[in-house]
Amino acid sequence: MSAILPPTERLWIKHPIDRVEGTWIVIALTWCLIMFFMMVGWHIWGTQNLSTETYRTTPERFQAKAQEMVDKWTVRTETAENIPVVAPPPGADIYQIARLWNFWPILELEKGKTYRLHLTSLDYNHGFSLQPANINIQMVPGFEHVVKVTPNQSGQYSIVCNEFCGIGHHQMVGRLYVK
């Protein structure tokens, strides 16, 4: 029999499996099951995975919530575009908007305090990559992602878009301060 020629009998499924082939099928199935349960275990007991809540939203509704937060807790503005810097109280719901080609507003959080960070995009898919921390979330229009955040180091962090979003993608960088 040759691998180039078709099999002489078309009902290959009725032929018995060779012992070596059966061994490899069992090994592959066992490995798949091990990896599946490891992924579940890493999510439950590991510290590297973010547990997010996701809700459907509209750009108008999310923008209204973000504007309400900005009106309530703005402490100053920065950059040439006068992006507001918001310092919410600990435990507050904070909102971050991604849109062509910026993140709005700039957040100023307290070290060791927990916040509920709400993320969405108003126009295209954007990425939320907090550098140098290893937080990476895809922001999709129409969906609000909620992440519990407890900053444990003071400093200035960069928020980078890591989903290609058009010609100004390379300039899409935001800031987050932790005091």
The count of domains in the chain is 1
pLDDT value, residue 49: 60
pLDDT tens digits for 103-159? 999 999 999 999 999 999 999 999 999 888 778 889 999 999 998 888 889 999 999
Confidence label for 7 from pLDDT (cuts 50, 70 and 90): low
Domain membership of residue 112 (yes or no) is yes
Q: Is 17 exposed, middle or buried (0-12, 13-18, 19+ CB in 10 A)?
A: exposed
Q: Pick the more confident residue, 162 or 47.
A: 162
- Specify if 143 maps to a domain: yes
DSSP class of residue 169 equals G
Q: pLDDT value at position 26?
A: 95
Q: How confident is the model at residue 16 (pLDDT cuts 50, 70, 90)?
A: confident
pLDDT beyond 80 at 27: yes
> Average pLDDT, whole number, for the chain?
88
- Residue bearing the bigger pLDDT, 149 or 9: 149
pTM score: 0.72
Query: Residue 110's closest CA among 95, 129, 88, 94?
Result: 88
Range of the domain at 58: 52-178
Taking residues 155-178, report their average pLDDT: 90
Residue 26 lies in a domain: no
CA distance 114 to 122: 25
pLDDT at 166: 86
Domain assignment present for residue 174? The answer is yes
In a domain, 28, yes or no: no
Whether 173 is in a domain gets the answer yes
Asked whether residue 89 is assigned to any structural domain, the reply reads yes
pLDDT at 3 over 80: no
Question: What are the residues whose beta carbons fall under 8 Å from the beta carbon of 73, sequence distance 6 or more?
Answer: 86, 87, 88, 89, 92
In this predicted structure, the answer to whether residue 56 has a pLDDT above a threshold of 90 is yes
For range 35-40, the mean pLDDT? 89
Q: Which domain CATH number covers 160?
A: 2.60.40.420
- Is 37 inside a domain boundary? no
